[in-house]
Structure 1
Amino acid sequence: MEVADSRSRAVEIRRRDGAVIVTGWPGALHPVLRRVYAQRGIRDPSEVVHRLSAMARPELLGGIDTACGLLADAITRDRRIIVVGDFDCDGATGSAVAVRGLRLLGARTVGFRVPHRVSHGYGLSPALVATLEPRPDLIVTVDNGIASHAGVAAARALGIDVLVTDHHLPAATLPAANAIVNPNLAGDAFPSKALAGVGVVFYLLLALRSRLFPSDGPGASPSRPDLSSLLDLVALGTVADLVPLDFNNRVLVDAGLRRIRAGRACAGVRALLEAAGRAPETVVASDLGYLVAPRINAAGRLEDMALGIDCLLSDDPATARAIAARLSAINAERRDLQDAMVEQGESAVARWVERNGGAALPRGVTLFEPDWHAGVVGLVASKLKERLHRPVVACAPAGDGSDEVRGSARSIRGVHVRDVLAEVDARCPGLLLRFGGHAMAAGLSLLRADVERFAAEFDAVVRERSAPELFQPVVLSDGELEPADLCLELAHALRAAGPWGQGFPEPVFDNRFELASWRLVGGRHWRLDLRMAGTPTSAEAMLFNAEPGLVPPQRFRAAYQLDVNEWNGRQRVQLILRHLQAE
């Protein structure tokens, strides 16, 4: 068998820049954690104290007053409100937050709708508006709407008011909604541009509560609705949408995690954690991203996201468990489909490289297969982006017999994929039927006949806008650990810190090790016993999803995370290997 040597992939383990010395830390804070915080740009200890009182103020959001006026009037007049969400976890949690929050604030006639991926397309579309029966008085979009010019116009033509809440980047023109709340609008004064869709609607509810239930002054309300009951959903949607965890988002996620750990999550979140085999008391942000969110997302990918929202709106534990079990089954089906599609994509890339050589591989890769499922292409793009270390657009037919293709783009750090698509659109008007998204992820639609042309244009723009060094895969390390640092005390401290996620990554360290023994677990994972090179210090380690046919080298440098392995009531330090290089 071949010895594993990740150098063949030219992946570099690179240590983060030296940390600025920060004073004022509590004496009990582990020195390694001080270093980790400093290497993430923390310059003052207050930046890791996540009090809700430190959140940015809701009134800084543009359009918030007009939006609150619309909602206050609808509640006072008992108007029919429909929340229109998106078919991902951010949209699902945002829809649940909107429905729950509006009910807490006095709305009596509020429901939700989610577009069907095939029959309605993305967001508030004319096709979706036409199906809204009974006709609502007010539509509130969540995690969509900023690009829904036609859908907003269709609703307004029917006399329906529209309030758009979104966080996606806007185009040059805005839809003609009655009000728009989006921190990414030009000139918006809100300091955090990283709010997820669920965060935007949560902020709107905070502002609406202040209008309907003032906390001071002549009209002060003695009993204000407790919107903190929504924070578990806010945390879930924020983590799931992979928005940067800036200070404001860390405050929201930390508050939601504390609520979950205290046993005060909604029935749906508790049921989904139970289905995933995770105890709420020890939940961390990555559990939301890797265990809970995929179960909700699976409904929107393969069936109907209404099922995921129903789970999050349920207050009955038995009902929530039944829906969570169904979501888990759909997620298992999604994994099988995803694995098959990723294998197809990898085979297509391998054939291309065999014909043309690896040096000629496009900087921006576009893949299309006529039998792919449009609901899973985002996951395929994400997997292939990680393996190829370049932006990837995965495409599938929009539906049976459709001449339209839906694509999902995933990018690498330094390549703003939504801006790339905007440049493609500017160069080739009409090539893209629709597009939108963020720096790291975007969606698009085009005609099937135009896929090859799009692939060439996408690659050309990526090449022109991106420095060659961006395509060098790098694992960033927080440096070496001393033998004494391989301990439960530090492992627990790292686990409790953060919350870690996009833009505030979980700590990764690197050291040299010698292999004492190893065995294969579950057919594709390595369980290793290691010695830290030059010391008698031993360590247990795991490497998940090892390449078939490889064996670990006797000596290697590894990038790893320090974790706690819990088994049969015992806790031990465990290294999770992220990358290794033979020496």
Structure 2
Amino acid sequence: MTQITPRDIPAIAFHNLTDEGYPPAMAKIFAARGIENKVQLDATFAHLVSFEYLKNAKTMAVMLADAIAARKKLLVIADYDCDGATACAVAVRGLRAFGASIDFIVPNRFEYGYGLTPEIVQLAHESKPDILLTVDNGIASVDGVAAANRLGMQVFVTDHHLPGDMLPDAACIVNPNQPGCEFPSKHLAGVGVIFYVLLALRAELRNRGQLTEAQGRALPELLDLVALGTVADVVRLDQNNRILVQQGLLRIRAGRACKGISALLQVSKKSPEKIVSLDLGFTVGPRLNAAGRLDDMSLGINGLLTDDEGVAMGIATQLDTLNRERRSIETDMQEGALAVLDTVNPQDNFSLTLFDESWHQGVIGILASRLKDKFHRPVIAFAQANSGELKGSGRSIAGLHLRDALDLVSKRSPTLIKKFGGHAMAAGLSIDAADFDAFVAAFEQVASELLTPNDLLQRIETDGPLDSSGLTLEAARLLDEQVWGQGFPAPQFDDDFEVLNQRVVGEKHLKLQLATDEGQSIDAILFGHNEPLPEFIHAVYSLSINEYKGAQTLQLIVRHWE
């Protein structure tokens, strides 16, 4: 059952915003997202939280400045998702601009798994670096850091994942979620953390009189990468993250994106000047992620590092092909999973845990996300790994902090989970194949304790109805200018409509002409549905701009109907 729920609109915030000049429709939208005044919507650098509050950022900056002066060799240990790839590119581009000798490696997920493992340390040691710099990983790499220390390499950890009970014995750790860190924006992505470290390094080099004017301008040019990694990692878009994303989008729209992002936009048939935050998450990010899911993320990182337009386009084309392959694999896996579920009623459970020996390790996270959306309960999908292990990827719903739930399973059954890590809404883990049934039971037990039946109701939050003053092309343009994403959801509305006309387009979509109660006729589209609608519907919809032969018109995208 789906429940359409209007968002709460705090009256004081609404009145503050209207007093400051916002139209009532926009004031309602922002007030419902916790905005109380226009300052909270200011996306200029003046409101970016200072690196001074980020624990150890200044310390790491001093250590990096010393390393650059001593011509020490740095090696970035990257992660194989979009956040890790962009973080790696920011680290390499930024540190090279400051004069560092730096290279990178990224673990192949199918051979080495995630993070700074002892095996990756051994591989890194072959190139004889003085310092290993982790990006988007490392906070849980206790054994890997110990191995690096034994081999005489220092480790600088930059990460944003939640720490475990023990921190690694690294030379320096920067992570807004580590104990004792007072940084107010706990939702920085991995790419945001390394960007902050570079901000601190720039200040340190300036204090030493070792910063040229060109070096001082280098960091803002990395904000396209910061924006992409932040949106793609689905971290909460608090004001600090919205500033980073907005500033990155402004650079992309101005034609100042790196060659790799420009090429990815071109193969995606997206115009840079019209790109919005959702394009980063649903168009550019998946193509970059495809390298880490099916092949080797080094391909994607090299695409972000090159300044050669031809090389960038060649890599982007490969990534686009990989993404098509990923979608095909995902479709097959989803069909297989749903076929299995025909014999099981997931409504009887608080969680859903699945395994199929034919599933691909690189796509189980997307599968878990799709099933979570369909059945609205925590889902963990497992695939076959090496040495009798299963690799799992999980996605959760509001009400169950997935990493904490796995931690509880681990505490109750210490030998059940070999390793795990992640966030509230997404996590990864590995178990022995022989323990699959035991894990299913243990995870279901924890889920049943942490969730209530009410938590499992599928809810669609909306911003209520829009009158004719809000159903305009201008309103759609105004909404497009904002940064929307996790924790700051794009507006969607609900209302009653008469279906005046409908026809199937592209074999599986419905092109609609709807009429409001006020008699306004408006175009709409319902994707992935080709069966006729009844004459009257209640629809959840969002505003979009449809372009045809150079003309722009308002179009509703129907998200749900009944």
- TM-score, normalising length: structure 1: 0.93
- Residue type of the alignment partner of 2:445: A
The aligned runs of 1:145-294 (5 Å cut-off) are 145-214=138-207, 219=209, 223=213, 224-226=215-217, 227-294=219-286
8 Å Cα contact 1:374/1:396 also seen in 2: yes
Once the 2 structures are TM-superposed, how far is the Cα of residue 193 of structure 1 from its aligned partner? 0.4
- Matching of residue 378 in structure 1 with residue 391 in structure 2: no
Aligned to 2:414: 429
Return the alpha-carbon distance in structure 1 between the equivalents of residues 184 and 363 of structure 2. Answer: 34
CA 1:25–1:49 in 2, change beyond 3 Å: closer, same or farther?
A: farther
Aligned to 2:519: 536
Once the 2 structures are TM-superposed, how far is the Cα of residue 467 of structure 1 from its aligned partner? 2.4
- Matching of residue 84 in structure 1 with residue 74 in structure 2: no
8 Å Cα contact 1:147/1:171 also seen in 2: yes
Query: Which structure 2 residue ranges, 5 or more long, are not aligned?
Result: none
Once the 2 structures are TM-superposed, how far is the Cα of residue 27 of structure 1 from its aligned partner? 6.8
Aligned to 1:17: 8
Return the alpha-carbon distance in structure 1 between the equivalents of residues 331 and 508 of structure 2. Answer: 14
Question: Which whole-Å deviations, capped at 9, do the CAs of 1:350-406 have from their partners, x for residues lacking one?
Answer: 2112xxxx642x21110000010111000000000000000100000114xx30010
- Secondary structure of 2:417 counterpart: coil
Question: Which whole-Å deviations, capped at 9, do the CAs of 1:478-530 have from their partners, x for residues lacking one?
Answer: 01100232111111111112x00000000011110111121222222211111
Once the 2 structures are TM-superposed, how far is the Cα of residue 349 of structure 1 from its aligned partner? 1.4
1:306 to 282, 298, 301: 298
- Secondary structure of 1:351 counterpart: coil
Return the alpha-carbon distance in structure 2 between the equivalents of residues 285 and 279 of structure 1. Answer: 13
Query: Which structure 1 residue ranges, 5 or more long, are not aligned?
Result: 1-9
8 Å Cα contact 2:399/2:450 also seen in 1: no
2:326 to 331, 334, 341: 334
- Secondary structure of 2:502 counterpart: strand
Aligned to 1:524: 508
Aligned to 2:392: 407
- Matching of residue 346 in structure 1 with residue 338 in structure 2: yes
8 Å Cα contact 1:104/1:225 also seen in 2: no
Return the alpha-carbon distance in structure 2 between the equivalents of residues 165 and 234 of structure 1. Answer: 14
Return the alpha-carbon distance in structure 2 between the equivalents of residues 30 and 563 of structure 1. Answer: 19
Return the alpha-carbon distance in structure 2 between the equivalents of residues 89 and 424 of structure 1. Answer: 29
- Secondary structure of 2:343 counterpart: helix
Aligned to 2:492: 508
- Secondary structure of 2:511 counterpart: strand
- Matching of residue 63 in structure 1 with residue 56 in structure 2: yes
Q: Which runs of 4+ in 1 moved over 6 A?
A: none
The aligned runs of 1:119-138 (5 Å cut-off) are 119-132=111-124, 133-138=126-131
- Residue type of the alignment partner of 1:143: D
Return the alpha-carbon distance in structure 2 between the equivalents of residues 521 and 439 of structure 1. Answer: 39
1:141 to 116, 134, 145: 134
Return the alpha-carbon distance in structure 1 between the equivalents of residues 141 and 206 of structure 2. Answer: 32
Return the alpha-carbon distance in structure 2 between the equivalents of residues 259 and 22 of structure 1. Answer: 34
Aligned to 2:43: 50
CA RMSD of aligned residues (A): 1.4
Aligned to 1:494: 479
Question: Which whole-Å deviations, capped at 9, do the CAs of 1:197-236 have from their partners, x for residues lacking one?
Answer: 000000000001100123xxx9485624221010000000
Aligned length, in residue pairs: 557
Return the alpha-carbon distance in structure 2 between the equivalents of residues 261 and 342 of structure 1. Answer: 36
Question: Which whole-Å deviations, capped at 9, do the CAs of 1:150-201 have from their partners, x for residues lacking one?
Answer: 1111111100000000000000101111110000012211000000000000
- TM-score, normalising length: structure 2: 0.97
Higher relative CO (CA 8 A, sep ≥ 6), structure 1 or 2? Answer: 1
Once the 2 structures are TM-superposed, how far is the Cα of residue 26 of structure 1 from its aligned partner? 8.0
Question: Which whole-Å deviations, capped at 9, do the CAs of 1:448-494 have from their partners, x for residues lacking one?
Answer: 11111111111110110112211111110101100232111111111
Once the 2 structures are TM-superposed, how far is the Cα of residue 29 of structure 1 from its aligned partner? 3.7
Task: Calculate percent identity across the aligned residue pairs.
Answer: 47
Aligned to 1:391: 378
Once the 2 structures are TM-superposed, how far is the Cα of residue 281 of structure 1 from its aligned partner? 0.3
Aligned to 1:420: 405
- Matching of residue 564 in structure 1 with residue 536 in structure 2: no
